[in-house]
Structure 1
Amino acid sequence: MTNNLKSHLSNLLNKTITNVSPVSGGDISQAFKIDTSNNAYFLKLNSASALNMFQTEAYGLDLIAKTNTIKTPKVIAFDSFENSAFLLMEFIESKQATAEDFKVLGKQLAALHQCISENFGLDTDNYIGSLPQSNTVHKTWGDFYTDERLLPQLKLAKQKDLLSDAECPSEQQIKNYLESLFQNIKPSLLHGDLWSGNYLISKDGTPYLIDPSVYYGHSEVDIAMTKLFGGFGHAFYKAYESYSPFDVNTSARIDIYQLYYLLVHLNLFGRSYYGSVVSILRNIKS
């Protein structure tokens, strides 16, 4: 962080910054803890071109917070300065989650998913990782998930020569496969990228969601992502299901929802995700 940016942030906060230390913040942006005499803040820093990404992240955090179901860090500001873009938030001092913490997280996520809309999608596009994510509104979940989630990632994978035409199902094959699985699904507000690095448990046991990729979709999408890489305790799922029960098609839908995230990881990180992607694609084509 440059001295000029540090001075700019100090003026923005109207406080003297006493310490700046790098912290773990993911693969996309630099992250820092900023200490003042009486508060701590979390700063994400990237190139100036990332301003829209930070803007949509701030929008998602605010949208979740306004549901009063689960907390998100308060956004202080997002802006560009010199050749950088930044997102400044309150700093949440976190701890390892206990079984009781996971129980509360599961209950509050289920409450978030009770916040519904008339349509699937969102009034603005955003990002999944560093990739653009289209949220064009659809009346049906099958159309949204096919057209705004699977097809764009399949197209990108083919452009990157990570998948061949022969390995990818057609739009009609996808929609035919999904039709029987996607019955009576309501548009729930989703975090959109709920892996174990995107929740925090504060020192007093309060769950917080961070780094959202929000839109209105099927609630099981968030559950699918929690199961893809692990990091959520048994108490989380037990609590969640007591408020939002699963059904006989949940397992099959989990695979389909994980396909989107696996395609994203294939496009971002390469062929180590190829086998998992192709295995699910074969089920769709069969």
Structure 2
Amino acid sequence: MYTWVKNLIPETLIHIKPLSGGDTAKVFKIEAKNKSYLLKTNQLYPTNDLFSSEAIGLETIRKSNTINVPKVFKVGTKDNLSYLLLEYIPSKPPNAKSFKKLGHKLALLHKHTSFTKFGFDSNNFIGSLPQRNCWSKDWSTFYLTQRLIPQFKLAVENKLWDKHKIPSETILYKQLNALIGDVTPSLLHGDLWNGNYLIHHNGTPYLIDPSIHYGHNEVDLAMTKLFGGFDNSFYEAYYEVVAPHENKNALTEIYQLYYLLVHLNLFGKSYFDSANTIVKRYFN
């Protein structure tokens, strides 16, 4: 590994240090003479779609000029490995001040839109699962057909959900549309749990590991609340810039349903009860 990593960077390689990674990649800190890099590798996706999608997501957020992301240096394949070489961000635990900055910057990201439709130019991933982003003029249609239905179908295939207990698409759409109404497309991170942001040593917030698309801004906020870990100052700063939806509380659960279904399909039946409770509450 040392030899090919050495050829990836334009300066003298000093040390390769394994870091704790996610479920889809091995992660290394690459220490070189003048800077440090973050290298992600994966043997499960040698076609490199996973890392290519991540690179596109990071670059799209970067070009919005709203919130920082690590710089992408290289993405490619080597033998049976996919890899992504990124800027290494030295980080520290968040405090109320940094959470306030994060909330403000996320709001600016969500106010960034140059589209009148929902979706994205390419498909990507949520964790290791494919995520479709076909364009739609209607957010309720997009959320139903590109998010909920694929995960319900996968849960049935995985024998984690009885297909006869999934509400019809007519019922699902009717309830979604009634709660959501008309919303504006926002550029979303798409998987904003508390492991997908960093606070630089200088206090600057960074987003990492995006699953981007243009969607309803409350989706990102719903994910921040699913597993917790975000200070109240984060939400206060956010809502100073972007007003909350009138059905914010209900939509938090509605949008968490997607992520619970994803976790159900990735990690098993321990997520079924939480997902099923939301289905019964809003769609029966």
Of 46-55 and 86-95, deviating more is 46-55
Q: How many equivalent pairs are there?
A: 282
Determine the structure 2 residue equivalent to 1:271: 269
Matches of 1:77 and 1:158, distance apart in 2: 38
1:235-276 CA distance string (max 9 Å, x none):
000100111121330111111100000000000000010100
After TM superposition, which residue ranges in structure 1, 4 or more long, deviate above 3 angstroms? Answer: none
1:124-173 CA distance string (max 9 Å, x none):
00000000000000000011000000000000000111000232111111
Of 40-49 and 27-36, deviating more is 40-49
1:155 is aligned, of 149, 153, 156, to 153
2:116 is aligned, of 105, 115, 118, to 118
1:85-143 CA distance string (max 9 Å, x none):
10000100000111010000000000000011210000100000000000000000011
Pair 1:46 & 2:42 matched: yes
Matches of 2:9 and 2:80, distance apart in 1: 20
Matches of 2:283 and 2:179, distance apart in 1: 15
Pairwise CA RMSD: 1.0
1:181 is aligned, of 174, 179, 182, to 179
SS in 2 for 1:158: helix
Query: How does 1:84-103 map onto structure 2 within 5 Å?
Result: 84-103=81-100
Determine the structure 2 residue equivalent to 1:8: 4
Percent same amino acid among aligned pairs? 48
- State the Cα distance separating 1:11 from its structure 2 match: 2.0
SS in 2 for 1:239: helix
Pair 1:80 & 2:72 matched: no
Determine the structure 2 residue equivalent to 1:256: 254
Contact 2:11 2:34 in 1 (8 A): no
Matches of 2:278 and 2:47, distance apart in 1: 32
- State the Cα distance separating 1:50 from its structure 2 match: 5.4
Matches of 1:131 and 1:101, distance apart in 2: 31
Contact 1:173 1:284 in 2 (8 A): no
Structure 2 length normalisation: TM-score?
A: 0.97
Matches of 1:84 and 1:261, distance apart in 2: 28
Of 113-122 and 276-285, deviating more is 276-285
1:162-199 CA distance string (max 9 Å, x none):
00023211111100111111222001000000000000
Matches of 2:220 and 2:245, distance apart in 1: 16
Pair 1:65 & 2:62 matched: yes
Determine the structure 2 residue equivalent to 1:238: 236
SS in 2 for 1:181: helix
Structure 1: state its 5+ residue gaps: none
Matches of 1:285 and 1:68, distance apart in 2: 39
